[in-house]
Chains A and B, each alone.
Chain A
Amino acid sequence: MSETKPKPKIQKTAVPIPKQKPEIRKHNFGEVALGYTAEQAHAEADRCLQCPKPQCIQGCPVEIDIPGFVKLFKAKDYGGAIRKIKEKNCLPAICGRVCPQEEQCQKFCILGKAGDPVNIGRLERFLADWETLAGIDAPRKARHTGKRVAVIGAGPAGLTAAADLVKLGHEVVIFEALHLPGGVLIYGIPEFRLPKSIVEAEADFVKKLGVEIRADCLIGRTHTIPELLKSGFDAIFIGTGAGLPQFLGVPGENLGGIYSANEFLIRVNLMKSYSFPEYDTPIRVGKHVVVIGGGNVAMDSARSALRLGAEEVCIVYRRSREELPARKEEIENAEEEGISCKFLAAPIRFIGDERGWVKAMECICMELGSPDESGRRKPVPVKGSEFVMDTDTVIVAIGRTPNPIIQSTTKGLTVTKWGTIITDENGKTSIEGVYAGGDIVTGEATVISAMGAGKKAAQAIHEYLMKK
């Protein structure tokens, strides 16, 4: 690597990200964080020290050559820079937006020790968006190997695995149960954080690589894993994610006006009910919305409810602010938009009106006890601390579990007691030729970790097929 001397003055603070103003954005579904302009991106890239021993790469689950792409970008070789990213990551426009970079690459950036780390995510996004406008080039494929791979689920893990496998010369078919590819990117993450046109463009890129995507195909029902193996697929990758909503299990939870976050977000994102009645799928949001939970899905639900016209939105979380699992950036965004939080409280009962619609929620206060198996302090109910909150819409965002349909229709596939599929470190399952990765293996996690798992499994599948 040629040495690049750091510029004499390195700005300690990152170039701020332009955003829609809170009072405006809370009334629309447009993207909140706007992209860097070319000038802003270059100013930010100039902060990169081009470390001889870069620390950032170790934080990236797909090991993008970060200093490498930044260097090309600085030299204004945008095409080269995006190709460098795409050597490792086929969905950069998505990762540039929804990766928790503060916990990954940027966490290791040396500049972070005395100021802001380089805003790697925004540079990735800039280049990906530049490419979308300039027109995406599909790389040349390797020679056909004559092997066929079925990928189950067109979410982050499946799209990544499919892209890598097709580039290696295998024929790849993705089976997707919903009507559009993208998985959680299309049904879960809202438009204002990840525009669906971006997801569509990234899925189109995977198709351009030569991957066939068959929508409306629920594996386990339309076809099964054993049938796919019999019908001429040499290997299978299962990336079906964690799509089953968890409920609280408290009385009154089936009253009208109580949604799982999945239902709420599927209606809003996948079915575009924010454009009802232009789109046929309705959504009903009342005046006083309560969201239960503290993760990104809770933030997404709360902010969507606000945009759908709620007068007030309150997040109820059983631990305290410090334990909130959502990204810091999303918590700040939510608070700027006027969403309130009630910490250390949990619902114990929902109260309905005569039509069976929710009108109030009874909660109990919590205090934090000793740490549980997750390492976080366990919330313990405080006796006699019950209180009632008025609400007409409740969104339950307390986590998702794996969809059991493949496990229950595939003999010999070993799973944990939580229903996740057991694999080795490369995604190999208990059935020969069948691999799995992403949330279906780890339980609910991040987009990029699912992509990392898809990548690893693709490599393992390739090695398996070449030996076969």
Chain B
Amino acid sequence: MFEIIEKKELAPKIKSIDIYAPAVSEKAQAGQFVILRTDKKGERIPLTLVDWNRQKGTIRLIFLEVGVSTEKLGSLKVSDTISDVCGPLGNPSEIKKYGTVCIIGGGVGTASAFPIARGFKQAGNKVVVLIAAKTANLLILEDEMKKVADEVHVCTDDGTKGVKGFAVNALKDLIDKGYKFDVVYAIGPTIMMRSIADATKPYNIRTIVSLNPIMVDGMGMCGACRVTVGGKTRFACVDGPEFDAHQVDFGELMKRQMAFLTEEKLSLQRLQEKRCSCIE
């Protein structure tokens, strides 16, 4: 059992939890994830490691409550326990000195981008961070990013903060302004990652995305997370989760992410009904 040591609400439906998991904390590296199962009847879900404190033996996870598993996780309080946390899983980000690196975080993907931005800064790169969200109150980790990055740019779909528009437009603006990026990292909704990949391709900028397909075991056993990269089937859990964005078949990935949509809705609805009847 893994205890929740700290919990914060960063934005509506976006929560941050620190979990006591010393074995995971000890080995955690930027870009890796854990598989977590909230309770004995729960799903195994992958969540990216956002931060870790080796002295305290804790790891930090940030998630958006979007389905039954994240809703259940989000309802847990400090000192509650989680049945299972396994990790760190997946390959760490390939952090080295490239020169100027642009790190783009979209929505809750900003959380996954945080340790990568920090890692690139520590490796001696100039780090330009671009945070994108639907609206101002859904922006997360702006202050944290400012501490580790050389520049932080913000954009919102509705223009309530920063530049109005999508991440891809903000990126194009930066490129037009003369920014020369050696690497672009994009982590967020699949549709955002695809548009970033499309945008950087003509410029021939090396672009890395961290994929979030459906996973079950997270260690290479099930193949649910298979994605086509460069015409070959790869498993995001053991071959990824980061891949060359220009090689990824995003269309296939998006279809595969929807495989259990009906069941996921049913499951969430059931949880909400259960909660309502409890309140009554």
Contacts and interface: CB of A to CB of B under 8 A. Distances in A.
Contacts of B217: 177-178, 187, 266
Interface in A141-174: none
Given A218-B86, A263-B222, A277-B270, A271 B256 contact: no
Contacts of A244: 220-221
A215 B217 CA distance: 13
A271 B86 contact: no
A260 B267 CA distance: 24
A267 interface: yes
B275 interface: no
Contacts of A234: none
Contacts of A284: 259-260, 262-263
Contacts of B222: 245, 260, 262-263, 266-267
A280 B67 CA distance: 10
B76 to A, nearest CB: 15
A247 B228 CA distance: 13
B259 A222 contact: no
A53 B169 CA distance: 83
Contact of A280 (B41, B85, B252): B41
Contacts of A59: none
A256 B260 CA distance: 9
A262 B223 contact: yes
Interface string B14-58: 000000000110010000000001000111100000000000000
A355 interface: yes
B86 A216 contact: yes
A355 B254 CA distance: 10
B3 interface: no
B216 A267 contact: yes
B160 interface: no
B23 A256 contact: no
Consensus secondary structure, chain A interface: loop
Nearest to B216: A266
A132 B203 CA distance: 68
Contacts of A405: 219-220, 238
A217 B223 contact: no
A263 B213 CA distance: 14
Interface in B206-241: 216-217, 219-224, 226-228, 233, 238
Contact of B267 (A179, A262, A272, A276): A276
Most buried by B among A249, A267, A282: A282
Contacts of B105: none
Interface in B237-271: 238, 252, 255-256, 258-260, 262-264, 266-267, 270
B107 interface: no
A356 interface: yes
A177 B219 contact: yes
Interface string A198-227: 000000000000000001111001110000
Q: Which 4 A-B pairs have the closest CB atoms?
A: A356-B255, A282-B263, A263-B222, A216-B86
27 contacts: A177-B217, A177-B219, A178-B86, A179-B84, A187-B221, A215-B84, A218-B86, A218-B89, A221-B219, A222-B24, A222-B86, A222-B88, A247-B223, A253-B233, A254-B233, A260-B222, A260-B224, A276-B263, A277-B267, A277-B270, A280-B72, A282-B263, A284-B262, A355-B258, A356-B252, A405-B219, A405-B238
Interface of B: 23-24, 27, 37, 41-44, 68-69, 72, 83-89, 216-217, 219-224, 226-228, 233, 238, 252, 255-256, 258-260, 262-264, 266-267, 270
